[in-house]
C-alpha cells in the first residue's frame, strides 16, 4: 500500500484537481517534496504504465494521468530544487525534423518526468542542430527522439550523425521510439536503445543510466 | 521445375523447387499483413494435394481437422513438390457510378477518371447526353512503390518520380485508348480527379512540399495537358487534372463537391472520404471548411492482427447473435481474416454484448473477441481501431467547432470512397466514428468519378473557382486537438 494514498489515487485516476489539492495539503503539513515524488508520484506513474502495458489503460487515460502528475509536479518541483534533491538523470526529448506528431512524445516525456527524470522538451519538428545544441547546453545523460512518419525516421540517423560530427556522441545515450520505429532500425542507426511504449521508455532510461 | 496448380481457376505455374509460397501468391491476391511472420494468419490457403507437414504457426492457426484438410499459412511454406492450392478469387469491385446527370449537351465524347491510390476507374461519357457508355477499371501500377501516399511521395522524392509518373500516365493512356475505340464521337476532353499525392505524381510535380511541414504545395491547382504531352494518342484531346482543395484534401474532393453540390446547399452538410487519410469538407453556400485527418490503415485491415483487405476469405460483416459474434465471409468458405467493415461491425457488436467497454478495454475476464474459424480480435486491435476512428471523429469535431456549430447541426453527412460505401452506417455510429444520428448519414458512391464526369460538361472549368470558397484547416495548428482526439477515442456508452 503506497503512502499518501489520495495523491497516488488521484494520479492513477487522472484527477488533476485532487492531485493538486492533495499535494498542496501534504506540502503544507510539512511532508518532504522528495518523499512525495518517490513514494507517491513515481509509484503512481509506474502503475499507470503497468496498466497501459496490459491494455487496461490507453492514450486517453495516459493523457489525463500525465496531466494530474504535472499538476502535482508544478508544486513539488520548486521545493525539490530548494532542498537540493537530484533527479534520476536529465533527458532532452523532441520529435524529429519534419514531424509534428507530439502526443506519443509528450507521453514519454510525462512518464519520464513522473519517473523522477528532469526532462527538457524541445517540442516538435526539431532539426539535428537543435538536438546537438541542447545536448551541449543541458548536458543530459539521455537524448530521446520520437518519429511517427516513415518519412521522418531518417532524421533520427541524421541527428546521431550530427552528434558524432560535433564530437559529443559518447556523452549521451540516444533512445528512440514512435509507431513506425523498430528495434532493428534503432540498432541500424546506432541508437543505444528503443522502446515501443512510453512506460518501457522509463525502464530503458533507468537501465541506461544504471538506476 | 515443379508445378503449382491454383484452384479453382486451374491456372498452372512452373516454379523452381524451394520457392516461397509468399513470393508466388502475393500476385494472386493472398495478403501477408504481418509480413510473413506467421503471426496474423491472414494468408490461409488450402493445399489440396501434397500438403507439407504443418509448422508450429500452422498448428496455432488451425484445428486438427483443418490441418488434415490441407489448411496452412502460406507464409510458412515453400514449394517442395507438385502441389494444388486453393485460393478464393473474390475481390472488391472497384466502385463505378452511372447515376444519370443533368448536363448541357456537347457534340462529342469525354472520359472521366477517378485516379485512386489503389484503384483507377475510367468512364467513357457521351457528352451529347451525359450517358456513361463504358467503364474500365485497373489497379494503380504505382503500388509497387508503396501502398500509401506517403511512401509513394517519399519514393518520388528519392528519385522514382519519373517512374511513378510514367507508370500512371501509361496506365491511364491505355484505359483511354480502350475507351476511345468504343466512342461513337471523337473524345475531346479527359477529366482526372485524384488526391493531392496522385495529382502531383501524375503531373510530375515536385513532391517535396508534401513531405515536410507545413504539408502544403504551391502547385496544387488545375493542370491542363494535351494528349501528346502525356504520351497519349487521342487526336489532340485536352486532359484536365482537377485542382486540389488544399493540403492533402485533393482533386477527388473537388470532384466530390461537384457531385454532391455541397457548396450550393442552404444548410451545413459534411462530405467524408474515409480512407487512410480521411478527407473532410464541411459547409454550405456560405462557405466551406476542409481538413485531412490521418486515420491510418486500420480501415483497410492493416495493423490489425488478423486484418486483410476486402478480398476472398475476409470477414466483411459481423452481428451480435445468441450472445456471440456471427460473421459473414466474402466469397463464402472459411475466414482468413477481417477487413475494415468487418472490424467496425465486430467492435460495434462487441460493445452491444458488453465484451468491450466504452473506454476500449475488454470486459474483465475477457481476453479476446472470438470470431469463429479460429480467428479472434485482440485488445490491441481494438486500440488500433480507437486511434483510427478517433482521428476521423476528432477531425469532424474540430471542423464543426471551427464553423461554430455542434455536430447535431450538420444536416447531411455524405460518405464517399470505397470504405465509406461498405461500412455499415449503424456500426460506424455505434463506435463513434461518425458522431451523428444514423438517419442523417448516407453513402453517396464514387463521388470522385461522378464529379470528374460533371467536370467534363463544365466548359469554362467553373469548378476552379470552388477552391477560393474552401478554407483549408491544419488540424495540428488548432488548439484543443489533443483533447478532442483523446475524447474521440472513447466509444459512446450506447
Ligand atoms: C525513446 O523515445 C521514445 C520511446 C517511445 C516512444 C517515443 C519515443 N515516441 C513514441 N513512443 C511510444 O510511446 C507512445 C505511448 O506508448 C507511443 O507513441 P505513438 O506516438 O506511437 O502513439 C500515440 C500515443 C498515439 N498515436 C498518435 O498520436 C498518432 C495517431 C494518428 C491517428 C495521427 C494523428 C493523431 C495525427 N496526424 Co498523423 N497520425 C497518424 C496516426 C494514425 C494511427 N492510426 O496511429 C499517422 C502517424 N499520421 C500520418 C500522416 C501521413 C500525417 N499525419 C499528419 C497529421 C496528424 C494530426 C495533426 C492530425 C495528428 C497529430 C496531432 C499531434 N499533436 O500529434 C500529417 C503530418 C503532420 C506532421 N508533420 O507530422 C500527415 C502527413 C497527413 C495528414 N493527413 O495530415 C501517417 C503516417 C504514415 C507514414 N507512412 O508514415 C499515420 C500512420 C496515419 C496514416 N495516414 O496512415 C509509442 O510509439
Residue of B nearest to A151 (CA): B154
Tell me: pLDDT of B69 over 90.
no
What are the phi and psi torsion angles at A38 (to 5°)?
-80, -30
- Predicted confidence band of residue B37 (pLDDT cuts 50, 70, 90): low
pLDDT one-digit tens code per residue, A41-70: 999 999 999 999 988 999 999 999 999 999
pLDDT above 90 coverage of chain A, percent? 93
How far is Cα B369 from Cα B372, in angstroms, rounded to an integer?
9
Contacts of B23 (CB under 8 A, 6+ apart): none
DSSP state of B52: P
Q: Do B383 and A55 touch (CB under 8 A)?
A: yes
Rg (CA), chain A: 17
pLDDT one-digit tens code per residue, B257-280: 999 999 999 999 999 999 788 999
pLDDT above 70 coverage of chain B, percent? 94
Task: Give the torsion sign (CA, B359, B363, B364, B365).
Answer: negative
List CB contacts (< 8 A) between B213 and chain A: 98, 100, 125
CATH class, range A2-83? mainly alpha
Can you give the pTM of this predicted structure? Answer: 0.86
> Is the minimum distance from the CB of A112 to ligand 1 under 6 angstroms?
no
Strands of A173-177's sheet in order across: A118-121, A90-95, A142-146, A173-177, A193-194
Span B76-99, average pLDDT: 74
Q: Which of B105-109, B207-211, B266-270, B460-464 has the lowest mean pLDDT?
A: B460-464
Q: Are B334 and B373 in contact (CB under 8 A)?
A: yes
Beta bridge partners of B5: B12, B84
Which pLDDT score is estimated for B135?
A: 87
Tell me: pLDDT of B32 over 70.
no
Q: Are B1 and B82 in contact (CB under 8 A)?
A: no
CA A185 to chain centre: 21
> Which ligand 1 atom sits nearest the alpha carbon of residue B212?
70
**H helix intervals, B196-265:** 196-203, 251-260
pLDDT one-digit tens code per residue, B315-347: 999 999 999 999 999 877 789 899 999 999 999
C-alpha cell at A55: 491494455
> Is the minimum distance from the CB of B196 to ligand 1 under 6 angstroms?
no
How far is Cα B157 from Cα B159, in angstroms, rounded to an integer?
6
- Predicted confidence band of residue B89 (pLDDT cuts 50, 70, 90): very low
Q: What number of residues does chain A have?
A: 211
C-alpha cell at B83: 502441389
Comparing CB atoms, the residue among A55, A100, A103 nearest residue B482 is A103
- Predicted confidence band of residue B36 (pLDDT cuts 50, 70, 90): low
Tell me: pLDDT of B369 over 70.
yes
pLDDT one-digit tens code per residue, B139-185: 898 987 877 898 899 999 999 999 999 999 999 999 999 999 999 99
Count of CB atoms within 10 A of residue B314's CB? Answer: 31
Going by their DSSP bridges, the two strands B412-416 and B269-273 should be labelled as: parallel
Q: Cell numbers 475505340 label which residue?
A: B181
Going by their DSSP bridges, the two strands A193-194 and A173-177 should be labelled as: parallel
> Is the minimum distance from the CB of A182 to ligand 1 under 6 angstroms?
no
Count of CB atoms within 10 A of residue B33's CB? Answer: 23
pLDDT one-digit tens code per residue, A125-172: 999 999 999 999 999 999 999 999 989 999 999 999 999 999 999 999
Q: Do B151 and A61 touch (CB under 8 A)?
A: no
How far is Cα B16 from Cα B3, in angstroms, rounded to an integer?
9
Largest separation between any pair of C-alpha atoms in chain A: 52
How far is Cα B216 from Cα B246, in angstroms, rounded to an integer?
7
Tell me: pLDDT of B44 over 90.
no
- What distances in angstroms separate CA B61 from CA B43, B83, B108, B187, one per listed residue? 10, 21, 57, 53
**H helix intervals, B251-369:** 251-260, 340-353
C-alpha cell at B231: 504520351
Count of CB atoms within 10 A of residue B29's CB? Answer: 15
Q: Are B240 and B222 in contact (CB under 8 A)?
A: yes
Tell me: pLDDT of A1 over 60.
no
Span B83-108, average pLDDT: 73
Q: Do B359 and A58 touch (CB under 8 A)?
A: yes
C-alpha distance from A64 to closest chain B C-alpha (Å): 9
> Is the minimum distance from the CB of A105 to ligand 1 under 6 angstroms?
yes
Tell me: pLDDT of B102 over 90.
no
C-alpha cell at B285: 453556400
Residue of B nearest to A56 (CA): B361
Q: What's the fold here for domain A90-208?
A: Rossmann fold (3.40.50)
| Mutation probe of ligand 1 site: the residue of A148, A196, A200, A205 with most atoms within 8 A of C-beta | A148
pLDDT one-digit tens code per residue, B414-469: 999 888 988 999 999 999 999 999 999 999 999 999 999 999 998 778 888 999 99
List CB contacts (< 8 A) between A58 and chain B: 359-361, 383, 386, 489
Residue nearest (by alpha carbon) to ligand 1 atom 39: B294
Q: Are B320 and B346 in contact (CB under 8 A)?
A: no
List CB contacts (< 8 A) between B387 and chain A: 59
User: 3-state SS string over B119-166?
Assistant: EEEEEEEECCCCEEEEEEEEECHHHHHCCCHHHHHHHHHHHHHHHHHH
Higher pLDDT, B444 or B95: B444
- Predicted confidence band of residue B27 (pLDDT cuts 50, 70, 90): low
Rg (CA), chain B: 23
Tell me: pLDDT of B90 over 60.
no
pLDDT one-digit tens code per residue, B238-247: 999 999 999 9
Domain borders along chain A are: 2-83, 90-208
The angle that helices A42-53 and A103-114 make with each other, rounded to 10 degrees, is: 140
Q: Which of A174-188, B25-39, B371-385 has the lowest mean pLDDT?
A: B25-39
Q: Are A72 and A31 in contact (CB under 8 A)?
A: no
Which of B190, B176, B171 minimizes the C-alpha distance to B110? B190
Tell me: pLDDT of B19 over 80.
yes
Q: Which of A7-11, A200-204, B64-68 has the lowest mean pLDDT?
A: B64-68
Amino acid at each position: 500500500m503506497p503512502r499518501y494514498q489520495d495523491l497516488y489515487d488521484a494520479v492513477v485516476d487522472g484527477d488533476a484537481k485532487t492531485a493538486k489539492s492533495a499535494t498542496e495539503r501534504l506540502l503544507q503539513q510539512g511532508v518532504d517534496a522528495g518523499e512525495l515524488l518517490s513514494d507517491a508520484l513515481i509509484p503512481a506513474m509506474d502503475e499507470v504504465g503497468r496498466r497501459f502495458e496490459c491494455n487496461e489503460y490507453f492514450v486517453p487515460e495516459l493523457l489525463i494521468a500525465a496531466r494530474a502528475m504535472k499538476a502535482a509536479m508544478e508544486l513539488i518541483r520548486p521545493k525539490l530544487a530548494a532542498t537540493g534533491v537530484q533527479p534520476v538523470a536529465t533527458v532532452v526529448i523532441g520529435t524529429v525534423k519534419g514531424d509534428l506528431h507530439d502526443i506519443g512524445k509528450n507521453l514519454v516525456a510525462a512518464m519520464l518526468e513522473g519517473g523522477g527524470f528532469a526532462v527538457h522538451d524541445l517540442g516538435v519538428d526539431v532539426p539535428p542542430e537543435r538536438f546537438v545544441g541542447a545536448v551541449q547546453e543541458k548536458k543530459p545523460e539521455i537524448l530521446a527522439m520520437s518519429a511517427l512518419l516513415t518519412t521522418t525516421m531518417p532524421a533520427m540517423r541524421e541527428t546521431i550523425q550530427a552528434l558524432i560530427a560535433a564530437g559529443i556522441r559518447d556523452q549521451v545515450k540516444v533512445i528512440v521510439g514512435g509507431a513506425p520505429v523498430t528495434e532493428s532500425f534503432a540498432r541500424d542507426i546506432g541508437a543505444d536503445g528503443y522502446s515501443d511504449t512510453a512506460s518501457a521508455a522509463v525502464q530503458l532510461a533507468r537501465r541506461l543510466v544504471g538506476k | 521445375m515443379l508445378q503449382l496448380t491454383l484452384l479453382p481457376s486451374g491456372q498452372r505455374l512452373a516454379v523452381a523447387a524451394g520457392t516461397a509460397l509468399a513470393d508466388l501468391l502475393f500476385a494472386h491476391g493472398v495478403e501477408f499483413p504481418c509480413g510473413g511472420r506467421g503471426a496474423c494468419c491472414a494468408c490461409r490457403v488450402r493445399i489440396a494435394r501434397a500438403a507439407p507437414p504443418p509448422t508450429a504457426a500452422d498448428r496455432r492457426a488451425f484445428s486438427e481437422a483443418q490441418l488434415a484438410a490441407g489448411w496452412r499459412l502460406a507464409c510458412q511454406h515453400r514449394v517442395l513438390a507438385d502441389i494444388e492450392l486453393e485460393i478464393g478469387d473474390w475481390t472488391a469491385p472497384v466502385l463505378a457510378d452511372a447515376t444519370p446527370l443533368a448536363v448541357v449537351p456537347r457534340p462529342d465524347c469525354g472520359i472521366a477518371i477517378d485516379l485512386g491510390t489503389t484503384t483507377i476507374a475510367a468512364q467513357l461519357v457521351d457528352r451529347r447526353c451525359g450517358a456513361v457508355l463504358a467503364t474500365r477499371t485497373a489497379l494503380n501500377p504505382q503500388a509497387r512503390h508503396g501502398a500509401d501516399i506517403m511512401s509513394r511521395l517519399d519514393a518520388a522524392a528519392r528519385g522514382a518520380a519519373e517512374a511513378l509518373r510514367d507508370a500512371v500516365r501509361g496506365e491511364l493512356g491505355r484505359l483511354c485508348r480502350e475507351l476511345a475505340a468504343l466512342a461513337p464521337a471523337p473524345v475531346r476532353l479527359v477529366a482526372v480527379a485524384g488526391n493531392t499525392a496522385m495529382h502531383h505524381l501524375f503531373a510530375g510535380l515536385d513532391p517535396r512540399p508534401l513531405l515536410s511541414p507545413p504539408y502544403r504545395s504551391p502547385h496544387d491547382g488545375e493542370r491542363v495537358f494535351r494528349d501528346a504531352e502525356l504520351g497519349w494518342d487521342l487526336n489532340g484531346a485536352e486532359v484536365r487534372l482537377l485542382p486540389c482543395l488544399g493540403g492533402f484534401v485533393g482533386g477527388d474532393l473537388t470532384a466530390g463537391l461537384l457531385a454532391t453540390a455541397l457548396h450550393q446547399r442552404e444548410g451545413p452538410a459534411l462530405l467524408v472520404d474515409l480512407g487512410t487519410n480521411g478527407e473532410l469538407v464541411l459547409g454550405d453556400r456560405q462557405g466551406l471548411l476542409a481538413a485531412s485527418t490521418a486515420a491510418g490503415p486500420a480501415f483497410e485491415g492493416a495493423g490489425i492482427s488478423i486484418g486483410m483487405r476486402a478480398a476472398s476469405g475476409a470477414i466483411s460483416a459481423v452481428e451480435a447473435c445468441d450472445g456471440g459474434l456471427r460473421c459473414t465471409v466474402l466469397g463464402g468458405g472459411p475466414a482468413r481474416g477481417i477487413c475494415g467493415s468487418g472490424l467496425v461491425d465486430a467492435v460495434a457488436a462487441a460493445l452491444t454484448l458488453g465484451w468491450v467497454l466504452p473506454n476500449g478495454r475488454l470486459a474483465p475476464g475477457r481476453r479476446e473477441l472470438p470470431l469463429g474459424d479460429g480467428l479472434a480480435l485482440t485488445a490491441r486491435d481494438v486500440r488500433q481501431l480507437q486511434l483510427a476512428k478517433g482521428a476521423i471523429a476528432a477531425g469532424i469535431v474540430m471542423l464543426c467547432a471551427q464553423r461554430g456549430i455542434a455536430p447535431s447541426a450538420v444536416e447531411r453527412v455524405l460518405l464517399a470512397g470505397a470504405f465509406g460505401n461498405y461500412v455499415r452506417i449503424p456500426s460506424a455510429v455505434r463506435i463513434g466514428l461518425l458522431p451523428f444520428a444514423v438517419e442523417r448519414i448516407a453513402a453517396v458512391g464514387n463521388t470522385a468519378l461522378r464529379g470528374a464526369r460533371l467536370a467534363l460538361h463544365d466548359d469554362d472549368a467553373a469548378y476552379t473557382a470552388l477552391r477560393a470558397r474552401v478554407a483549408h484547416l491544419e488540424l495540428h495548428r488548432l488548439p484543443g486537438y489533443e483533447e478532442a482526439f483523446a475524447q474521440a477515442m472513447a466509444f459512446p456508452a450506447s
